[in-house]
């Protein structure tokens, strides 16, 4: 559905460290192009973190959330832990978040700039 998602950063090194850890927990390696970091590829879609091209300070999207797919509850937990250990803040701990008949397990983080991300799986135990 998406070709790419790009978020801004004021500290490329801190952001790359955060995203290397969190995407790594989901089995997605990181790459660099100058100060920019990216994850995924053009064929499957990619996520990138860059300094804003207009030279202004980066800020997060008020009301925006970027959702990432996880294979298991353990992967969600690992993603959340990796984010906390690499400059992220908890915006909702790992846990069940069922929606009607849909069994979900997820967690929320804010990256070092304040972007809101979540990792969810439908592969829910119990």
Q: Tell me how many domains the chain contains.
A: 1
pLDDT > 80? residue 123: yes
pLDDT of 125: 80
Q: For residue range 67-82, what is the model confidence (pLDDT) as tens digits?
A: 999 999 999 999 999 9
- The percent of residues in the chain predicted with pLDDT above 70, rounded, is 99
* Residue whose C-alpha is closest to residue 114's, from 14, 5, 38: 14
pLDDT of 41: 87
Between 86 and 41, the higher pLDDT residue: 86
In a domain, residue 126? The reply is no
In a domain, residue 59? The reply is no
pTM: 0.89
Q: Give residue 93's domain range.
A: 4-52+64-121
What's 17's DSSP letter?
H
Q: Compute the distance between CA of residue 6 and CA of residue 1 in angstroms, rounded to an integer.
A: 15
In a domain, residue 18? The reply is yes
């Amino acid at each position: 559905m998406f070709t790419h998602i790009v978020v801004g950063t004021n500290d490329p090194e801190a952001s790359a460290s955060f995203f290397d850890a969190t995407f790594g927990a989901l089995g997605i390696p990181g790459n660099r192009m100058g100060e920019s970091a990216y994850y995924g590829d053009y064929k499957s879609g990619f996520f990138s973190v860059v300094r804003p091209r207009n030279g202004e300070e980066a800020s997060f999207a008020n009301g925006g959330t970027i959702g990432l797919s996880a294979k298991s509850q353990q992967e969600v937990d690992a993603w959340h832990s990796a984010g906390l250990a690499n400059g992220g803040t908890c915006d909702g701990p790992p846990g069940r978040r069922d929606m009607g008949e849909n069994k979900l397990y997820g967690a929320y983080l804010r990256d070092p700039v304040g972007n809101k991300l979540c990792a969810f799986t439908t592969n829910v135990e119990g």
